[in-house]
Structure 1
Amino acid sequence: MKRTHQCPTGILGFPVAPLKENGELDLKGFEANVNFLLESGLQSVFVACGAGELHALTQEEYKTIVKTAVRLVNGRVPVYTGVGGNVKHALEQAEISAEVGADGYLILPPYLISPSEDGLYNYLKVIIESTELSAIVYQRDKCILTKEALLKLCELPQLVGFKDGVGNMEFNIEAIQLIGDRLEWINGMPLAEVTMAAYYNLGYRTYSSAISNYIPHISAKYFNALQRGDNQTVHELLNDIILPIHAIRKRKEGYAVSLIKAGMNIVGLPVGTTVRPPVAPVESTHYGELKEILGRALEKYPVSGITTEVEVT
């Protein structure tokens, strides 16, 4: 069957991998996470990616998570997976994703090695071509593309998007001018709401939201205001919520994952706060600070009346 390759747009939801206190995968917690995102109106779900601790999952756990997500979503929104690291593992993950009915995958960086331009191109190409699923490349860490290499990858019909987690504005401007709307441009900077206003002016209309796991209505309110040109609301949300959370996140490596679980635990989602090494749990002082921020945020910006179904222009 021929697939139509199309990238998810708007606010992208990235569920975590909830763990029991003994470190085992908590599928009930995962189901609650995915259902919460769907009920909140998120327009896509990306499972077993960075927030989902792909680096720490066995291939069997990976398959279980992907199958569960596909079953829960049941075609309502696109389901993407994370693939990456060891190229053989990445290819196995791509095959699993295709086998269980995912719509596509986000390619995370290869492990440890700093590749040459042609080596990185070959790594991405072999993964993209391995299935007919839609693919998104993720620029970060050991995966730093030149605009020429990205343009060459655009010859592959499976490639639908480019996610930037580096923040090189010169590269972004040049790449968008060179490639245009051939790709969906996705802001994947740490706490993307912090930088989305700048990215929006470059032509980025899509971003991954860590805080959508626990305050999706804030993500929606922010993005709706950004699209309307409501600078006052953008400014207030940045100062009241987004920048304070970002300040906590920057205090310790690994908080990109564990702070999400802490936020979800604070708002009552049954995911716990357990993470797998080398990620460390949120320190009690930081947990308390996050709890205070969320308490003030939910008082000033109640959930009712806000949907994450934004109109991307």
Structure 2
Amino acid sequence: MQFRGAFTALVTPFRNGAVDEERYRELVEWQIENGINGLVPCGTTGESATLSHEEHREVIRICVEQANKRVPVLAGAGSNNTKEAIDLTRFAKEAGADGALLITPYYNKPTQEGLYQHFKAIAEEVSLPFILYNVPGRTGTNMLPCTLARLKKDVPQVKGVKEATGNLAQVSDILEQCGPDFQVVSGDDFTVLPLLSLGGCGVISVVSNIIPDRMAGLCKAFAEGNLDEARRLHFDMQGLCRAMFIETNPIPVKTSLSMMGKISLELRLPMVPLAESSEKALQACLKSKGII
């Protein structure tokens, strides 16, 4: 499987309103040095919603170039506008990404048939492995297991799904209907271990921005049958996972990286800095886990 293990949903560092290329390259390098299995630029955690199209392309290009084929790059390329998603996916392929992460269209709330036709239309224009992204809490639409099974059967580019419902019954249904070769990755840091136990193959993680070695270690331990170590790492990371969502992602994780000295703390509206009480709680958590 191409997309197996721990992939980091990378933040996008900014400086003075622009993408901070130097810090971004350093972050990619640090992730690889610490054993991450793959990288995801331009996802939710990368503030893709407030990147211009030019910046979106720049961030993918930098990530692919810096990774230099050492780990797979799964580029965020989705949109609620099918034509725009085709254009972004085409660029991801031209830039050398190993696959595209395609979110279900948000706000316009398509039907299951609409979801099917959306991804089918992208596949007809771009030949690249796709991991679909199901996150109803942000999009207002839940892509059902039967729709995924239909897409897997009819659209060869659809290789798997980033499942972020937090619903393990739905994960089980996806694996039952799509088979063991369908790449189901967790979109919630809390559910990595139980998802792996059902037959999933990894995670696209927020917390691995700050602890790539631990999240990659959990996936590796599970793959090697070392369940005690996987369980230890699962519980070791839970406090940090909670802290990453003390307020809206990616505010806490960008704040954490700034506390670690890895990026400047710069967000784009409507994202705003943490409330003082949240910042103190986050700082205490990072200190307790030896992060700062």
TM-score, normalized by length of structure 1?
0.84
Aligned to 1:31: 25
Q: Where in structure 2 are the equivalents of 1:233-252 lying within 5 Å?
A: 234-235=231-232, 238=235, 242-252=237-247
Corresponding pairs, count? 285
Runs of 4+ in 1 over 6 A off after TM superposition: none
Give me the whole-angstrom Cα distance separating, in 1, the residues matched to 2:28 and 2:233.
Answer: 29
Aligned to 2:265: 273
Aligned to 2:146: 148
Q: Aligned to 1:220, which of 204, 216, 221?
A: 216
Aligned to 2:66: 72
Give me the whole-angstrom Cα distance separating, in 1, the residues matched to 2:260 and 2:218.
Answer: 19
Give the aligned residue type for 2:207: I
Q: Aligned to 2:111, which of 116, 124, 137?
A: 116
Residue pair 2:8, 2:39 contacting (<8 A) in 1 also: yes
Residue pair 1:10, 1:206 contacting (<8 A) in 2 also: yes
Give me the whole-angstrom Cα distance separating, in 2, the residues matched to 1:259 and 1:291.
Answer: 10
Residue pair 1:13, 1:42 contacting (<8 A) in 2 also: yes
Alpha-carbon distance, 1:291 to partner: 2.2
1:199 matched to 2:195? The reply is: yes
The secondary structure found in structure 2 opposite 1:195 is helix
Aligned to 2:96: 101
1:259 matched to 2:256? The reply is: no
Deviations 1:79-111 (A, max 9, x none): 111122222221111111111111111001313
Give me the whole-angstrom Cα distance separating, in 1, the residues matched to 2:21 and 2:206.
Answer: 20
Aligned to 1:309: none
Residue pair 1:186, 1:204 contacting (<8 A) in 2 also: yes
Aligned to 2:205: 209
TM-score, normalized by length of structure 2?
0.89
Aligned to 1:162: 161
Give me the whole-angstrom Cα distance separating, in 2, the residues matched to 1:276 and 1:298.
Answer: 29
Give the aligned residue type for 1:87: T
Alpha-carbon distance, 1:242 to partner: 2.9
Give me the whole-angstrom Cα distance separating, in 1, the residues matched to 2:231 and 2:45.
Answer: 25
Residue pair 1:129, 1:158 contacting (<8 A) in 2 also: no
Give the aligned residue type for 2:210: Y
The secondary structure found in structure 2 opposite 1:102 is coil
- Structure 1: tracts of 5 or more residues without a match: 1-5, 303-313
Give me the whole-angstrom Cα distance separating, in 2, the residues matched to 1:250 and 1:298.
Answer: 19
Aligned to 2:182: 183
Q: Aligned to 1:61, which of 55, 58, 61?
A: 55
- Structure 2: tracts of 5 or more residues without a match: none
Give the aligned residue type for 1:210: V
Taking only aligned residues, the RMSD between alpha carbons, in angstroms, comes to 2.1
Aligned to 2:7: 12
The secondary structure found in structure 1 opposite 2:179 is helix
Residue pair 1:7, 1:160 contacting (<8 A) in 2 also: no
Residue pair 1:14, 1:208 contacting (<8 A) in 2 also: yes
Give me the whole-angstrom Cα distance separating, in 2, the residues matched to 1:216 and 1:139.
Answer: 23
Residue pair 2:78, 2:104 contacting (<8 A) in 1 also: yes
Alpha-carbon distance, 1:290 to partner: 2.0
Give me the whole-angstrom Cα distance separating, in 1, the residues matched to 2:38 and 2:227.
Answer: 24
Give me the whole-angstrom Cα distance separating, in 1, the residues matched to 2:257 and 2:104.
Answer: 27
Give me the whole-angstrom Cα distance separating, in 1, the residues matched to 2:50 and 2:107.
Answer: 15
Percent identity, aligned pairs only, is: 25
